[in-house]
Structure 1
Amino acid sequence: MEMSSPHQADPAALDEARLLDTQRAFDSVAADYDGPRGNNELIQRMRLTLWDTVQRLFEPGSRLVDLGCGTGIDAVEFGQRGFRVLATDWSPRMVERTRERAAAAGLEGEVHAAHIGVQQLERIADGSGERFDGPFDGMYSNFGPLNCALDLPAVAAECARLVRPGGALVFSVIGRICPWEVAHYLRRGRFRRATVRAARGATAVGMNRHTIWTRYYLPREFYRAFADDFALEDYRALSLFMPPPYLVERYRRNPARYERLGLLDDRWGALPLLRDMGDHFLIVMRRR
């Protein structure tokens, strides 16, 4: 893991440097990001849970914002399902990939990609009448872009500004307690890596020789930033009994066995206590 970090004494400069670190990391993998992730059965299983949740909550034709769209897999899926999507990402190369994917699918009218990070949501106008201005029916975010938010309460305030009363947020967030991860790294004697999610504040996580600055949350810890304007409707664990996506080779050696564990995820992942664990959690909040 690359643990390089900026050394500026000024907090604003430190935040800016961390944002640029994260942007460079995702820019560096944008070209081939779909390879290891797009073909990962464990990622796809979690992705389907978010897709099904969004489909259940919103009517076709709803206007949605994708926070941290990556290469646009989710945005194009929802465009094909009849939603109108403003897909945003802090990585300009990821935004380019999303535009290419939408164009290839003939969805330029349904999916609009914009280079806007989660810390820049004030750039989305409210009520000027343009096609992708607010208010929106809802927002979704998949696989942890909001873990990279430097100021989560500020993000929550912008979500409240942009989402109409009665609208919903559907966020997949990297959790603080992942039993599989702890067991995996403890067995290998990597004690520091086993406890990385316990850290408070921004934690440096390496990717492709770059650094992503990440915060880990328990579901209700995450919800506190949104509580003033959103009611907590539901949350559940993702990949609690199933291994996390980076252990996909273990899954591939015995898929039938792990699919049985996946049934436990489906049946028990929303139960009290169990829903506070897992590689990710899926949380649904309703605008008051």
Structure 2
Amino acid sequence: MPEPARDPRLKSLINQLQPGPVRKVKVIGFDGVDVLVQLMDAEGEEAEIGRIPLYEASMRRMDNPSELFELGQEISAEEIGRWREGQLHLSARACEIPALRSFLLSIERRQIVTGTVSEVHNFGVFVHLDGEPDGLCTGFIRVPDLTWTRMNHPSEVVAPGHRITAEVIIAETRSGQVTLSLKALREDPLIRFADQIGRVLTGPITKIIPFGVFVQLAPGVEGFLHLSELTDEPGETSDRLVDEGELITVRVAEVDLQRHRVRLCAADGEGGF
């Protein structure tokens, strides 16, 4: 049975967000809204100069990091990379709440976790994970990671108070968040549908857009039929040719597991319907 390929761009992003080593640093100045720090070596001696950007200074809201840090103050900060001709950048926010950092470091990618839905928004879902520090909400599910099927709003999938089980995509010390996936624990319906290429199927139109229509082909599986497969007439739009809910017969032209999409063509294999 074929499986969807892993997106190399996602893998690269996850690698960039992996926690870095923690360094002891001393605040030596401010450069605009950035914090300049002196790194300390293993013996506690002063080493190179590093920089903490404003957005990495704290999880608390502030206008300037001088509101939080004093000259000479020693803090812990996580290495995040080198910019500006090799200068080391660090994150103080990644070490700001020790209990939160310990919790995040205990969570591994693809680990199965449980929690309770806290808030549902059009951009995603916040989740109180079991075992997280009191007073915090560490879990987050992006809209594309909720379900394999198309939806209009996340509230169609979950609601506040629901208990959920999800797979960890990544735990980020810098954001203090665990990105989760609900759909990772459910089989992609396209995997079993991949052998349908070339088949002629009939299904209802589920959505109409100006340049084509979506057609339900099986439970959890929709395909897209481009406007050019409906008509050869210039100036026509999909909504003038078909209605939502109307049954339509199509041919499966392509099943793309990587992009999770099905491309359809006219049942007779030619343009026009």
TM-score interval, smaller chain: under 0.3
Higher-Rg member (1/2): 2
Query: Which structure shows the higher strand fraction?
Result: 2
Query: Which structure shows the higher helix fraction?
Result: 1
